[in-house]
Structure 1
Amino acid sequence: MYHIVEKRKIWFTISLFSILPALLYMLWSTATRGQPLPLSIDYTGGTVWEVQFSQPVQPAAVRQVFVDAGYGDTTVFTVNNDFTAQIKFKPVNAEEKERLRQALEAQFGPFEELTYRSLGPSIGREVSQAALVALVAASILILLYIAWAFRSVPHPFRYGVAAVIALIHDVLVTLSFLSIMNLVAGWELDALTLTAILTVIGYSVNDTVVIFDRLRENFHRYRNENFAVVANRSIIETATRSIATQITVLLILVAILVLGGVTLQQFVATMLVGFVSGMYSSIFNATQILVAWDERSLFHRNGKKPVGQSAAATT
């Protein structure tokens, strides 16, 4: 049997280096930009312009017109059909808007303006705060629910804490990827990317609970065995199913990433990285946190190093 639990220091080290880019980026961005993350106009405020062309258009081609005009953080989506585009970009005055209109007409011909509205910075801040509150509230509810669901085993609260730590790990790994892509390709945290992160959280918790559930079953089945041994057995028994399930999802995401449009790339790539991180943290982090916590408790209770560290090697 492979001793996953025994090598947890290696897994924790890999996780540390995976989240380090996000932590460094947030420190740098806060010091230089006044905000920890590269927020899009969905959160900082900006302009939403919905137009209908007389010919089908590609979002990437429309966006390129704005990039050439100096608006590199523009996002473009088609709405309902390939003739209608929704364009989000930084606030502009009437003169700048007219220049953009002329540039679009030169590229795609005359078009009809359907809507043109501005999202103020105050509204953007409210959306940002609401998103943060939602994430914190979700973490607390997940912690409490898992603690209640695993009340039949000793220290059920630890299971909730371990699941939330794994969840935070996955969010930070995803933000590390976004931070790197912001420096390389100018990606920003928009509403669609936040949706991807929330989806990652759901998958991460689901995978973690599957392993915890097997751990609960084995804990009652092998009461006389060391906790580290039971934890290692539980991971081995569920890892194959978890990996197979995740690979199925990852293959679909890769197909969308390759075959989908440019406007979906950031959303899909973010989910792809997050799902890989969720698979990793469920197998290599969450249960290891429980084992480390258990052995630390034994150390303080007995005044000596617990046997749990080497116990996995005896199986």
Structure 2
Amino acid sequence: MPNIIGKRKLFLSISGALIALSLVFLAVFGLRAGIDFSAGSMLTIAFDTTPQLSELNAELDNLGYGTAIVQETGTEDFMIRLPAITDGEKNSLKAGLTAALGNLTERSFETVDPVIASQTSRVALIAVALAALGILLYLTYAFRRMPKPMHYGVVAVAAVLHDVLAVLGIFALLAAIFGLEINLVFIIGILAVIGYSVNNTVVIFDRIRENKLRGVAPTFEGVVNRSVGETLIRSINTSLTTIIVVLALMLFVGATIQNLAVVMLIGIIVGTYDSVFVAPAILVIWDNLDRRRLGGRVTA
């Protein structure tokens, strides 16, 4: 049985470095809000003869839309993010692009005003907060027959926050490099990461509960280490199979769910690491602190 918990200082140091880097990336690059959160217009078009991305960007600049953000969808369509424009301005833009680059077809057009964008941001934050509260309450109830059931809920929520922060930081770096923006699909990805991370953590915590009741080791640290070892292969296999699916989405679906795939890929990797190497270690550290504070009379 590998002594994973015995190396907790190393794993926690790696986790701490990841969080520190994430905070640096967020401070330096920030997160670019998409149309769902900052208002604006999104025009999706396809040309009869597909131009180069550089040609389209140059022509948008000539037409007075130099700040527009263009993404290729993987199906020879272009998604153009613009400041909020009217139908008349859209028609003028299409006419200018047609004159310069050839006939085009409008796939879709949507505009989000500032009020809707503000409401969407608020609802997204509430959704994430409610998810964290629900996790805390559920795990506290699920482990109510164990000593200190609140520990399991608090550690699970801490693990979720760890994963979300790491995803945000790494995404900020990738966004700066590839021009990605956060949108509602991004929020869906964050919520999916939360669910995936909690699922992995609960599996390990449940094995800890079973082994504690069976008395498989004389100390809580021994129980946790054995539980992590017994679920390690399951956690890795589950994550690898999910990563394969996410990579397929990234390679073949295109920009429409690009943010979801990127967030899921980062979240699965970070969440698996966190569930196996960080969350159980925090349980042990917390228990050891309680023991020292109360003179060794506490049993986990």
Instruction: State the 1:73 CA deviation.
Output: 2.9
Q: Which whole-Å CA distance do the structure 1 matches of 2:254 and 2:16 have between them? A: 33
Q: Which whole-Å CA distance do the structure 2 matches of 1:170 and 1:91 have between them? A: 34
Q: Is the 8 A contact 2:71 2:78 kept in 1?
A: no
Q: Is the 8 A contact 2:35 2:117 kept in 1?
A: yes
Instruction: State the 1:44 CA deviation.
Output: 0.4
- The letter for the 2-side match of 1:102 is G
Structure 1 residues 64-143: aligned runs within 5 Å: 65-66=56-57, 69=60, 70-74=66-70, 87-92=80-85, 98-104=92-98, 106-111=100-105, 116-143=109-136
Residues 1:194 and 2:191 aligned together: no
Q: Is the 8 A contact 2:59 2:100 kept in 1?
A: no
Q: Which whole-Å CA distance do the structure 2 matches of 1:19 and 1:63 have between them? A: 36
Show CA shifts across 1:93-123 (max 9, x none). Answer: 6557623542156435154x68655311222
What count of residue pairs does the alignment treat as equivalent?
Answer: 293
TM-score by length of 2: 0.85
Q: Is the 8 A contact 1:40 1:73 kept in 2?
A: no
Q: Is the 8 A contact 1:63 1:74 kept in 2?
A: no
Q: Is the 8 A contact 1:145 1:160 kept in 2?
A: yes
Identity across matched positions, percent = 33
Change (3 A) 1:126 1:227: same
**C-alpha root-mean-square deviation of aligned residues, in Å?**
3.1
Instruction: State the 1:225 CA deviation.
Output: 1.4
Q: Which whole-Å CA distance do the structure 1 matches of 2:174 and 2:104 have between them? A: 35
Of 42-51 and 11-20, more deviation after overlay is shown by 42-51
- The letter for the 1-side match of 2:123 is A
Q: Which whole-Å CA distance do the structure 1 matches of 2:57 and 2:249 have between them? A: 25
Unaligned runs of 5+ in 2: 61-65
Where 1:302 maps in the other structure, the secondary structure is coil
Change (3 A) 1:147 1:108: farther
TM-score by length of 1: 0.81
Q: Which whole-Å CA distance do the structure 1 matches of 2:171 and 2:98 have between them? A: 30
Structure 2 partner of 1:38? 32
Instruction: State the 1:232 CA deviation.
Output: 0.3
Instruction: State the 1:142 CA deviation.
Output: 0.7
- The letter for the 1-side match of 2:220 is F
Q: Which whole-Å CA distance do the structure 2 matches of 1:175 and 1:278 have between them? A: 13
Instruction: State the 1:55 CA deviation.
Output: 5.1
Show CA shifts across 1:22-74 (max 9, x none). Answer: 32233346xxxxxx5321121000013466x68597xx968973575224534
Q: Is the 8 A contact 2:70 2:79 kept in 1?
A: no
